[in-house]
């Protein structure tokens, strides 16, 4: 019996180190990064819609007052919509018709934040569409067309070493990590971050995978952090606020703007998050866990 509805979780990712190896002929950048999945996730629900209406994305409240009050584009630029269009095209090439889709979206991950919120939604949409209308589509290849973080989000692994422009995903074994996340209420586009890096290209050491496996908390190094923090004061402020806690290593995730602290344990992360929320109610601050 064909499914009538598909509900998919869309977990966030965090970069525990990001090295930029240079610009590729296709215009993207060659990366070496360590990705971990977080216990913070959006939710995507798909069901067939009226043929007259076309695809439609409806956002439902998440119970997070800070995020629920922020506007979100749910039109053609949303990655849920783009993933539906891409899957329909690929399925049609294999003789499978995908009808208009009604998509419900619950956002718990900040967007424009370096946590792969949109990419996670796209991956969840592709998985859901493949369950509802199986067509043997190569989802990782399709996901790579939608965004560099989508292949990792599709892989469904707790941690991976990610290379290429994001399409190379090799699972690694890491212990869970306790984290404090700070999104300082400013979006940073990946195009801007990489453009700023190109003005002053810097190299950093490879992600410290072995140290993390051994239970140590090395300083994560992100080649984009310096260029972004120099041009986006809220990112510099978030990094400084986290470092002022003196509880562990601090870095920026991906192209920003979310910054994070590696705490010693969940209790320390919760306490630090409470302190920062009291200090900066204008920021989105959460304790999280990887794995």
45/104 Cα distance (integer angstroms):
5
Mean pLDDT of 70-78: 93
pLDDT tens-digit map of 206-241: 999 999 999 999 999 999 999 999 999 999 999 999
The verdict on 134 and 30 lying in the same domain is yes
Mean pLDDT of 74-92: 96
pLDDT band at 3 (very low <50, low <70, confident <90, very high): confident
Q: Which of 136, 171, 206 is the last residue of a domain?
A: 171
91/131 Cα distance (integer angstroms):
12
So which residues are the catalytic ones?
Answer: 13, 149
The verdict on 88 and 226 lying in the same domain is no
Mean pLDDT of 78-82: 97
The verdict on 122 and 199 lying in the same domain is no
Instruction: Look at residue 1 and tell me if it is in a domain.
Output: no
The pLDDT assigned to 24 comes to 83
The verdict on 93 and 45 lying in the same domain is yes
Q: Which of 171, 205, 232 is the last residue of a domain?
A: 171
The verdict on 134 and 239 lying in the same domain is no
The verdict on 42 and 165 lying in the same domain is yes
The pLDDT assigned to 22 comes to 81
Domain CATH for 143: 3.30.230.10
Domain CATH for 253: 3.30.70.890
Residues with Cβ < 8 Å from 15, sequence gap 6 or more? 33, 34, 35, 114, 220, 222, 251, 253, 254
Could you give the number of structural domains in the chain?
2
- Strand pairing of 178-183 and 101-106? unpaired
pLDDT at position 1 over 60: no
Look over the chain and give the mean of its residue pLDDT values, rounded to a whole number. Answer: 95
pLDDT at position 253 over 70: yes
- CA angle (152, 30, 218) in 5-degree steps: 70
The verdict on 26 and 167 lying in the same domain is yes
By residue range, what is the domain housing residue 250? 178-289
The verdict on 135 and 226 lying in the same domain is no
């Amino acid at each position: 019996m064909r499914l009538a509805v598909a509900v998919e979780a869309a977990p966030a990712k965090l970069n525990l180190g990001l090295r930029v190896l240079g610009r590729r002929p296709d215009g993207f950048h060659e990366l070496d990064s360590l990705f971990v999945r977080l216990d913070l996730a959006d939710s995507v629900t798909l069901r067939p819609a009226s043929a007259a209406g076309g695809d439609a994305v409806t956002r439902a409240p998440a119970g997070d007052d800070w995020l629920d009050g922020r506007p979100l584009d749910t039109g053609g630029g949303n990655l849920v919509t783009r993933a539906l269009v891409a899957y329909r095209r690929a399925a049609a090439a294999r003789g499978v018709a995908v009808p208009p889709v009604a998509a419900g979206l619950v956002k718990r991950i900040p967007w424009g934040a370096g946590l792969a919120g949109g990419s996670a939604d796209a991956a969840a949409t592709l998985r859901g569409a493949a369950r509802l209308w199986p067509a043997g589509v190569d989802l990782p290849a399709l996901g790579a067309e939608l965004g560099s973080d989508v292949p990792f989000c599709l892989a469904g692994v707790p941690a991976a070493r990610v290379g290429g422009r994001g399409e190379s995903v090799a699972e690694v074994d890491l212990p869970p990590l306790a984290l404090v996340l700070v999104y300082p209420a400013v979006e940073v586009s990946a195009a801007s971050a990489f453009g700023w890096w190109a003005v002053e290209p810097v190299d950093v050491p490879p992600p410290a995978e072995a140290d993390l496996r051994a239970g140590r908390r090395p300083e994560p190094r992100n080649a984009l952090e310096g260029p972004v923090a120099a041009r986006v004061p809220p990112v510099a402020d978030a990094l400084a606020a986290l470092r002022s806690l003196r509880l562990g290593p601090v870095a920026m995730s991906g192209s920003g703007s979310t910054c994070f602290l590696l705490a010693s344990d969940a209790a320390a992360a919760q306490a630090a998050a409470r302190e920062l929320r009291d200090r900066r109610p204008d920021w989105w601050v959460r304790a999280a866990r990887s794995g």
